[in-house]
């Protein structure tokens, strides 16, 4: 056990508390990563607000990068001093989902309440999302990390581990977009911008961004959107058809949590198109659609978690794209904050900013 500083959630909806906590040494197959950067994701905020339940006290944070500072027994291919990104994708490697190439939906349960974290007085402390990265260090499974070049900026690298893989992966792995197809992306926030640049990288013909904010539609164009539609229009899908030459899209990606976006999503689709559900509405929220329409014109609804990525395959690709100037990461960062400023950084993220706030450790 060692003592580190972490931002702890003690009560849903209350500010996080900076505390000294205890972190266990890495066990079998685990590594300790000393973090350089962790971004604030909307999922962290939803958890801290109690939207999805979970154990308390807890440490959130799951979009991180740093350097390996200790290696447990049985770890292969990683060594102290390696630069890595840390993801929440904890996969067993052997269940039917993992064996079928879908580690993001691993079927083996993982008990975050009995992870490596304890409070200063030795009480249970939940390592939320198998990461607990709002902290100076994490201990995670070796399957959750991917090596990155030592000279890659860690604040940019941190973004790859959630927002970027979720958006780009949804286009490539879930929608399986082919070059020349048309795409609608609902929501031009952190994940939406990455779906947009994923569609550009995949060779989309036209990319229509839909958002409530004219400012975000402007940013969407910087990331590759060819058209912008205001979601506040009465029937925004009509403006999207117009942009797409009178036809619907081959894929619509819903990157927001607001239910009307889910109700409306099939309206944007061409015959045979598919809607990919990426956003994370609160538990219990329900959407409605007409099954007969989907059946009659062969449309599909697909859920996608973390972009259906295989991190060991997809993250090195995305790092290359970034280093070749084909994937924007630095442009996604709206602010840099210290761990002590985390509540301000969260408040700033909740103002609806399109981009990511990153906690950097000195």
81 CB burial (10 A radius; 0-12, 13-18, 19+): exposed
Whose Cβ is closer to Zn ion: residue 134's or residue 237's?
A: 134
Closest approach, Cβ 72 to Zn ion, in A, equals 20
**Tokens describing residue 187:** 């929501």
Query: Does residue 48 interact with Zn ion by CB under 5 A?
Result: no
How many residues of this chain bind Zn ion (CB under 5 A)?
9
Closest approach, Cβ 162 to Zn ion, in A, equals 3
Whose Cβ is closer to Zn ion: residue 33's or residue 41's?
A: 41
Residue selected from 31, 48, 71, 106 as contacting Zn ion according to rule CB under 5 A: 106
Choose the binding region for Zn ion from 1-9, 16-24, 37-45, 137-145 (rule: CB under 5 A).
37-45
Residue selected from 98, 207, 239, 240 as contacting Zn ion according to rule CB under 5 A: 98
What's the CA angle centered on 270, arms 318 and 197, to 5 degrees? 20
Query: Does residue 258 interact with Zn ion by CB under 5 A?
Result: no
Query: Does residue 359 interact with Zn ion by CB under 5 A?
Result: no
Choose the binding region for Zn ion from 95-103, 217-225, 245-253, 328-336 (rule: CB under 5 A).
95-103
**Nearest Cα to Cα of residue 180 among 88, 261, 276, 244:** 244
Map the footprint of Zn ion across residues 120-179, applying CB under 5 A: 162
Choose the binding region for Zn ion from 91-99, 127-135, 139-147, 342-350 (rule: CB under 5 A).
91-99
Beta bridge partners of 141: 30
Going by DSSP bridges, is the β-strand pair 137-141/145-147 parallel, antiparallel, or unpaired? unpaired
Choose the binding region for Zn ion from 19-27, 38-46, 194-202, 223-231 (rule: CB under 5 A).
38-46
CA distances from 240 to 171, 185, 228, 268, 276 (A): 18, 10, 8, 7, 17
Closest approach, Cβ 350 to Zn ion, in A, equals 15
**How far is the C-alpha of 188 from the C-alpha of 224, rounded, in Å?**
11
Residue selected from 17, 24, 45, 92 as contacting Zn ion according to rule CB under 5 A: 92
**Tokens describing residue 305:** 């978690």
What's the CA angle centered on 327, arms 324 and 330, to 5 degrees? 100
Query: Does residue 108 interact with Zn ion by CB under 5 A?
Result: yes
CA of residue 190 relative to chain centroid, distance: 8
**Tokens describing residue 174:** 């879930």
Closest approach, Cβ 88 to Zn ion, in A, equals 7
109-112 — which CB contacts under 8 Å span 24+ positions? 112/55
Query: Does residue 43 interact with Zn ion by CB under 5 A?
Result: yes
Query: Does residue 345 interact with Zn ion by CB under 5 A?
Result: no
Residues that bind Zn ion in the complex, under the rule CB under 5 A: 41, 43, 91-92, 95, 98, 106, 108, 162
């Amino acid at each position: 056990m060692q003592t580190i500083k972490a931002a702890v959630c003690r009560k849903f909806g209350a500010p996080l508390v900076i505390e000294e906590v205890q972190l266990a040494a890495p066990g079998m197959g685990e590594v300790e990563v000393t973090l350089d950067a962790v971004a604030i994701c909307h999922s962290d905020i939803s958890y801290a607000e109690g939207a999805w339940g979970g154990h308390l006290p807890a440490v959130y944070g799951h979009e991180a990068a740093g350097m390996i500072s200790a290696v447990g027994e049985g770890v292969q291919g990683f060594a102290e001093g390696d630069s890595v990104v840390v993801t929440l994708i904890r996969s067993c490697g052997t269940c039917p989902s993992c064996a079928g190439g879908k580690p993001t939906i691993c079927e083996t349960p993982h008990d975050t309440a009995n992870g490596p974290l304890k409070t200063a007085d030795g009480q249970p402390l939940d390592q939320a999302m198998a990461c607990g990265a709002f902290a100076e260090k994490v201990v995670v499974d070796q399957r959750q990390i991917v090596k990155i070049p030592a000279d890659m900026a860690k604040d940019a690298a941190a973004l790859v581990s959630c927002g970027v893989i979720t958006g780009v992966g949804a286009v490539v792995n879930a929608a399986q977009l082919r070059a020349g197809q048309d795409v609608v992306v609902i929501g031009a926030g952190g994940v939406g911008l990455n779906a947009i640049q994923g569609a550009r990288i995949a060779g989309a013909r036209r990319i229509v961004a839909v958002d409530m904010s004219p400012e975000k539609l402007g940013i969407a164009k910087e990331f590759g959107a060819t058209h912008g539609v205001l979601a506040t229009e009465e029937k925004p899908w009509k403006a999207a058809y117009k942009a797409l030459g009178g036809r619907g899209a081959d894929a619509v990606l819903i990157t927001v949590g607001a239910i009307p976006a889910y109700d409306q999503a099939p309206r944007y689709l061409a015959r045979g198109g598919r809607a990919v559900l990426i956003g994370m509405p609160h538990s219990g929220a329900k959407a409605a659609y007409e099954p007969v329409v989907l059946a009659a014109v062969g449309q599909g609804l697909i859920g996608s978690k973390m972009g259906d990525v295989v991190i060991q395959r997809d993250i090195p690709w995305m790092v290359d794209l970034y280093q070749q100037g084909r994937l924007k990461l630095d442009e996604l960062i709206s602010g840099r904050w210290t761990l002590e400023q985390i509540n301000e950084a969260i408040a700033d993220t909740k103002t609806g900013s399109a981009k990511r706030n990153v906690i950097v450790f000195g």
